[in-house]
Amino acid sequence: MEDGIANLKIHDRLEEVWAVEEAVEEEVDHDYYLVGCFLTAQMVNFQAMKNTLVNVWHLIGGVVISDLEEKRFLFKFYHEVDIERVIKGAPWTFNNHLLIIHRLLENEDLMEAPLT
């Protein structure tokens, strides 16, 4: 092995780098998405909220939480068991603020989903 490493050489030449940009359309499975917001006039610390909910929910497949602005958040789950557990375990709170969640329906706009 030492002989193989001893024969390695680093060359000072420039190589051309190719960047390929492809429009990748990811099909959204609406069955695994929740849209939510907290009942508060205050700003929610996104990172703290994210860490807290992930720790409390103990999900099998995990969750990706995105800030949609206007105090809305998108929760993307990877297993039906996880999303059902979150829905059935409601109500959820963070810093004493109630989290209102809505299961996203097919062709439903994220920003117009009813959160009541």
From first to last of its 116 residues, what are the pLDDT tens digits of the chain? Answer: 556 556 656 555 555 544 444 443 445 455 799 999 999 999 999 999 999 999 999 999 999 999 998 889 999 999 999 999 999 999 999 999 999 999 988 888 877 888 76
Is the Cβ–Cβ distance between 92 and 37 less than 8 Å?
A: no
Q: Report the CATH number at residue 108.
A: 3.30.70.330
Q: Is residue 4 part of a domain?
A: no
Q: Is residue 1 part of a domain?
A: no
Domain that holds residue 37: 30-112
Q: How many CA atoms lie within 13 A of 81 on its CB side?
A: 5
Question: Against a cut of 0.75, is the pTM above it?
Answer: no
Q: Is residue 5 part of a domain?
A: no
Question: What total number of domains does the chain contain?
Answer: 1
Q: Is residue 7 part of a domain?
A: no
**CA-CA distance, 48 to 112, in Å (whole number)?**
26
